[in-house]
Structure 1
């Protein structure tokens, strides 16, 4: 890691849950942070909280890294409008949950010297907005990088160093196609299941008196930013629909075994799930 890395000024565009979390952690680590938000009141709040040093767009020129915590269209619009304000050698990165060619759209807007490194920190929490932000969400998390042929090696290493410094434990490098397919299963589908569980006709005002840790854990992400996740679902629609079908088939297998009273099949189904969970957690911590 560059010995001067902690001194690099970094800009965070979009100060919601994720952008606010980036700003908090980066400030804790000693970085000068420039924070901008579409709603200026939110940026002013972040400044008052002390998690950013400036909310002046003119200070973007100081930022060697610019992190976009905004929807894809918002990121493109911001770059088009503020390109002249960016550092001439700025490394831009994002946190978008679906990649499908977005990096090419951004790269087409950038002059020589700038670079866009596509990224996706696999962390977060329930709720939305600056008030919910928390720098600790990066601790032990995965931070996926999706390099493109035109990315410079030193820029990839810079974003990788940032991820490590934030507290992330693993920084896997994959293609955009592999990323979107994996995310359809591990992220999109889990939000589909959690929201469907909460929207079941079995829910009532008395449900809260009958819940334990399992129900709380399984429905945690149902407290969701509806507009954001609708965009993510539709951006990754084909892959998500495949995962919903696979989940439905798996659920049907268990349902049929329960309906038939097939104890051996039920035990085998449950034990295989347990084996996979243990294997996943062991590998994830290795």
Structure 2
């Protein structure tokens, strides 16, 4: 059990971390800081919050584990801001969906007596805000833990155990490996869903009245926050571009097969796609 857990900038993920930590007994005391005063006021009445700090520095002064739950670019800023206030032996992690640059910057920002281990729970929603959080958000979901080569094994183990205590299934990869993986399984799907909706938005508005569950299922994530995704695309630009290039090549192949009447090739692609989708459960 973590003696004192500090969560900075609790949106959907950070709020859910606090709820899950309290519900599952993963932390004895939970301290939270939020940027907006009205959010801090609202958090004071929540049963999963033991104290609300007025500043990030105040929130981390007695912490054993700090979770930076801000948007990706703000995570680096917070790491720099709290660095002078971090106690000896504290471990700092995050929930950012891009890791390579973030891990380097955060590790460089912290003092020698603090240890940074990146993490990314593959859990979320198109909804935002701690009000939409859930103590079960991480149950059965993959959580990447991304220690850099030569990182403190004990610190990585504590972060891993923490996410497991919240119900997550942990996977340890390097920050670079993480960014390649999520570019394909998360960032590319977002780009595709968003652009499909962008295309359909140019069509006859009456068409949307005839849309079935297939379109809704395919485009659910297009409702996600645009500002958040701009930051993700910026942070993981090279891997996202590579994933888009690979998809464009596959789409061009499908187009050519349809154009040439190569129905065996079309069938092969459809069947491979079905096999993969069925494997997701």
The TM-score with structure 1 as length reference comes to 0.88
Determine the C-alpha separation between the residues in 2 that align with 1:219 and 1:137. 21
SS in 1 for 2:6: strand
Tell me which residue corresponds to 2:76: 76
1:72 positional shift: 4.2
Q: Deviations over 1:113-144 (max 9, x none)?
A: 21000111111111222222223221111111
- Pair 207,164 (structure 1): closer, same or farther in 2 beyond 3 Å: farther
Q: 8 Å contact 2:69–2:95 — kept in the other structure?
A: yes
Q: 8 Å contact 1:68–1:93 — kept in the other structure?
A: yes
Q: Deviations over 1:19-71 (max 9, x none)?
A: 11111111212322111112122222222233321112435223211000113
SS in 2 for 1:8: strand
- Pair 235,81 (structure 1): closer, same or farther in 2 beyond 3 Å: closer
Please show how residues 45-64 of structure 1 align to structure 2 within 5 Å.
45-56=42-53, 57=55, 58-64=58-64
Tell me which residue corresponds to 1:33: 30
Determine the C-alpha separation between the residues in 1 that align with 2:208 and 2:22. 38
- Pair 157,210 (structure 1): closer, same or farther in 2 beyond 3 Å: same
Q: Deviations over 1:144-195 (max 9, x none)?
A: 11112342211111111111111112x1111222111111111110110111
Tell me which residue corresponds to 1:224: 224
- Number of aligned residue pairs: give it: 275
Determine the C-alpha separation between the residues in 2 that align with 1:136 and 1:179. 24
Tell me which residue corresponds to 1:112: 112
Q: 8 Å contact 2:72–2:98 — kept in the other structure?
A: no
1:77 positional shift: 2.7
- Pair 204,26 (structure 1): closer, same or farther in 2 beyond 3 Å: farther
Determine the C-alpha separation between the residues in 1 that align with 2:194 and 2:121. 22
Q: What RMSD in Å do the two structures reach over aligned CA positions? A: 2.0
The TM-score with structure 2 as length reference comes to 0.89
- Where structure 1 has 5 or more consecutive residues not aligned to the other structure, the ranges are none
Please show how residues 1-286 of structure 1 align to structure 2 within 5 Å.
5=1, 8-30=3-25, 31=27, 32-56=29-53, 57=55, 58-169=58-169, 171-201=170-200, 205-279=205-279, 281=280
1:242 positional shift: 1.4
- Pair 10,255 (structure 1): closer, same or farther in 2 beyond 3 Å: same
- Where structure 2 has 5 or more consecutive residues not aligned to the other structure, the ranges are none
- Pair 79,276 (structure 1): closer, same or farther in 2 beyond 3 Å: closer
1:232 positional shift: 0.7
Q: 8 Å contact 1:15–1:42 — kept in the other structure?
A: no
Determine the C-alpha separation between the residues in 2 that align with 1:11 and 1:34. 5
Q: 8 Å contact 1:72–1:96 — kept in the other structure?
A: yes
